[in-house]
Amino acid sequence: MTDRPTIALVATGGTIAMKHDPVTGAPVPALTGADLAAAVPRLADLARIAVLEFANVPSAYMGPDLWPGLSRTVADLLARPDIAGAIVLHGTDTLDQTAYFLDLTLASDKPVVMVGAQRNASEADADGARNLLNAVRQILAQGAREDLRELGVTVTLNHNINAARAVRKSHTNNVETFNSGEAGFLGQVDEDRVVFARKPLRRQTLPLPERLARVALVAMAAGDDGRQLRHAVADGAAGVVIAAYGFGNVNEALYDAVVEAIAAGVTIVVASQVPHGRALPVYGFKGGGSTLRAAGAVFADDLSPDKARVLALLALPITRDRQALQAYYDR
């Protein structure tokens, strides 16, 4: 067992690290990364697990204030020659956003697998242990093949391997919650072996800036009067992601607010609220995507509004040029 590879385990909290509070009966943070690793004895047969306790918070608490530090922590671990890869334990609410942030900022070709759970550790059918074991198996499988060393950050739950750019949470409590929509899974961690079906082609790496851009997210609502967008601009946002309808459409009032925002030097990124398909400048009515593009808006392609914001956090410190920003979203 002396030749076992070493895998870093970075704990951030989430349901996977929760148990029922004896007083309230509600799940609360309770377990460390070391606790979770010790609860899966088979891990020690496969690899040495080097645990780092980064945080122990619900993933609703994760965001731009913690993401840069997490990225640097994982990057430092991957830079160690003895580390074969890293697992990040994380809550499922923002797991897809954190995964995409790490995918955009980590340059290492070593595997990074994001893992969470839909059931807390007190439940009889808790899924955290299996997901953690599968992550270790996936890292070992990737390390054994040179052609699988550049998959980027992946999200692996319920046996399914997802690319960070494509993955979305699709159900509030079902263990089969994460999928990649039309892009499809990268593969599966099966009972006998790890099977890979494809590679993610739409990947890019951006430098981690000294300070992330301030980016707001405003969801288009029926009868929107543009007040929320104007408030975000007045509050100092460098960019605003609009979660628009359909291909990327808004009403006249929000369109007028978009024009005002762009004139004030604020970057507007248009994403779609629809879970599948791309945001595209198609319609020509006032507020349609074509008119938004003509006004100077950037379109988020197939990124969800949340992920469109993640990319803007990193891209806006590099450039405010619309064409250059659009190129980041088109990659």
Question: For the chain, what percent of residues have pLDDT higher than 70?
Answer: 99
At 81-98, the pLDDT tens digits run 999 999 999 999 999 999
Backbone angles phi, psi at 42, to 5 degrees: -65, -20
> What would you report as the CA-atom Rg of the chain, rounded to the nearest whole angstrom?
21
236-263, pLDDT tens digit by residue? 999 999 999 999 999 999 999 999 999 9
Q: Supply φ then ψ for residue 51, to 5 degrees.
A: -90, 135
Q: Which residues contact 236 (CB under 8 A, 6 or more apart)?
A: 214
Distances (CA, A) of 138 to 26, 104, 128, 211, 216: 32, 21, 15, 33, 36
Residues in the chain: 331
> Residue 72 has what pLDDT?
98
State residue 124's pLDDT score. 85
Domain ranges of the chain: 6-196, 215-330
Q: List pLDDT tens digits, range 114-132.
A: 999 999 999 988 999 999 9
From CA 27, how far away is CA 20, in angstroms rounded? 4
CA distance 115 to 91: 8
Mean pLDDT of 287-309: 98
Residue 162 has pLDDT above 90, yes or no: yes
Q: Which fold has domain 215-330?
A: Rossmann fold (3.40.50)
Q: How confident is the model at residue 149 (pLDDT cuts 50, 70, 90)?
A: confident
Q: Report pLDDT for 2.
A: 60
Token duo for residue 10 = 């970075």
Q: Do the domains spanning 6-196 and 215-330 agree at the CATH topology level? A: yes
Name the residues annotated as catalytic.
15
Mean pLDDT within 53-64: 97
Mean pLDDT over all residues of the chain? 96
Contact 109, 205 (CB under 8 A): no
For domain 6-196, give the CATH superfamily: L-asparaginase, N-terminal domain (3.40.50.1170)
Work out the pLDDT band at 3, boundaries 50, 70, 90.
Answer: confident
